[in-house]
Amino acid sequence: MRKNNNLVKGIFIGMGVMALTAFAAEKTFTLKFSETEINKHYQKLSVIRQIVDNSNLSHQEVVYVTKSIDSLQAEILTQVKAQLVQETPSKK
């Protein structure tokens, strides 16, 4: 009977720890770039994408790198658009 109590306590402690760690806050980082800097980085990503497309890498590697670059460029666009919307004053 004692082993069952210890097992139940262990399960509850484990569930409690999981519950506490599940609600950990996600950190958000904001990077500030000027318009010229962000354009430069975006263009460099496009050049890297072209180089990878023309390389001798395996198809899986090319797909992985290309999708990563596309994802990063999409995130850049999303962040820039969000910041532009925030900066635009609303007319009342």
Encode pLDDT of 10-56 as tens digits: 777 777 776 666 666 566 667 777 888 888 888 888 888 888 888 88
Dihedral (CA of 83, 87, 88, 92) sign: positive
- What three-state secondary structure class fits 55? coil
Classify residue 19: in a domain, yes or no.
no
Classify residue 7: in a domain, yes or no.
no
Classify residue 39: in a domain, yes or no.
yes
- pLDDT of 30 reads 74
Q: Looking at the whole model, is its pTM more than 0.75?
A: no
Q: Does 1 have pLDDT greater than 60?
A: no
Q: Which domain holds residue 70?
A: 26-87
Closest CA to 65 of 43, 37, 42, 46: 46
23 alpha carbon, distance to own chain's centre:
18
Classify residue 66: in a domain, yes or no.
yes
Structural domain count of the chain: 1
